[in-house]
């Protein structure tokens, strides 16, 4: 059985066939799916989804590209949402310097990231971090502000050196579609070096569909393609990969 540890089933791309997509995931052997919010609105939608479907869990938070959605009441509202038992994480939160070039707004991203790390610590929840082209600052913030927190750098795109620092903190890396791409850059080398107990699989659906679905709408059933590629690079069986990645997800997210 597989666990898709990061996706966005509340996304409007699934409005016409959400139940069918979730059924296909079940048939493919996906026993649990964790959806992550990026705004207050999507975080609320994720809580609703989790309530209505078994095996569906949620992470809530404000994404770095959505900082205008964050105000002085946001953390209190998120804490209230987190009273739902199926809210199991804070995320996705972090830094995105790919789309944000303005230095002042990058500093606001950092401040909001740190505030939500504090919230996760208060609520005793693990964290799902988005880091795009902000590796240095992300690692620095985790090392200085991440005390007593556990989490994952989802859709990992840093170096092997950085991954070793992440593992040293007791954190995980999450891998998804890009591992199956021809231009997967440093990822094969990183997953080969990863300790078994520090790696998670995910889809980030509806984005980043793995080969052979690249370019199409992604969905949780395709997490199996990520697992297959991981097995190939690491010289393991698909069953082994399924077993330890699911155990890791259950461990981090207390499923
Ligand atoms: Ni995502």
Alpha carbon of 206 to ligand 1 centroid (Å): 9
Alpha carbon of 36 to ligand 1 centroid (Å): 6
Give the residue ranges of the chain where pLDDT is below 70: none
Alpha carbon of 8 to ligand 1 centroid (Å): 7
Residue 179: give its domain's CATH number. 3.20.20.140
Alpha carbon of 240 to ligand 1 centroid (Å): 25
Number of domains in the chain: 1
CA–CA separation, 215 vs 10, rounded Å? 20
Alpha carbon of 196 to ligand 1 centroid (Å): 23
Give the global pTM: 0.97
Residue range(s) defining the domain that contains residue 221: 2-253
Alpha carbon of 203 to ligand 1 centroid (Å): 8
Output b/e per residue, 18-28; b: 16+ Cβ within 10 A: beebbeebeeb
Alpha carbon of 130 to ligand 1 centroid (Å): 7
Instruction: Report the side by side order of strands in the sheet with 199-201.
Output: 2-7, 30-36, 56-60, 87-96, 127-132, 151-153, 172-175, 199-201
């Amino acid at each position: 059985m597989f666990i898709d540890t990061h996706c966005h089933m509340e996304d409007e791309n699934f409005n016409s066939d959400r139940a069918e997509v979730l059924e296909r995931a079940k048939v493919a052997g996906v026993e649990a799916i964790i959806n992550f919010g990026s705004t207050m609105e999507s975080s609320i939608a994720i809580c609703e989804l989790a309530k209505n479907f078994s095996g569906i869990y949620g992470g809530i938070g404000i994404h770095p590209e959505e900082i205008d959605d964050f105000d002085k009441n946001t953390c209190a509202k998120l804490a209230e949402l987190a009273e739902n038992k199926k809210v199991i994480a804070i995320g996705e939160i972090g830094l995105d310097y790919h789309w944000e070039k303005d230095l002042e707004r990058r500093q606001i991203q950092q401040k909001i990231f740190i505030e939500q790390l504090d919230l996760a610590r208060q609520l005793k929840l693990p964290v799902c971090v988005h880091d795009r082209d902000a590796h240095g600052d992300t690692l620095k913030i985790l090392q200085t502000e991440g005390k007593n927190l556990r989490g994952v750098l989802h859709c990992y795109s840093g170096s092997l050196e950085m991954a070793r620092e992440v593992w040293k903190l007791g954190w995980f890396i999450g891998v998804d579609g890009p591992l199956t791409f021809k231009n997967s850059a440093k990822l094969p080398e990183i997953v080969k070096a990863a300790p078994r107990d520090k790696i998670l699989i995910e889809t980030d659906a509806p984005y980043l569909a793995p080969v052979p679905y690249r370019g199409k709408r992604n969905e949780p059933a395709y997490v199996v393609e990520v697992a297959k590629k991981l097995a190939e690079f690491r010289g393991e069986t698909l069953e082994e990969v399924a077993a330890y990645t699911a155990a890791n997800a259950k461990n981090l997210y207390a499923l």
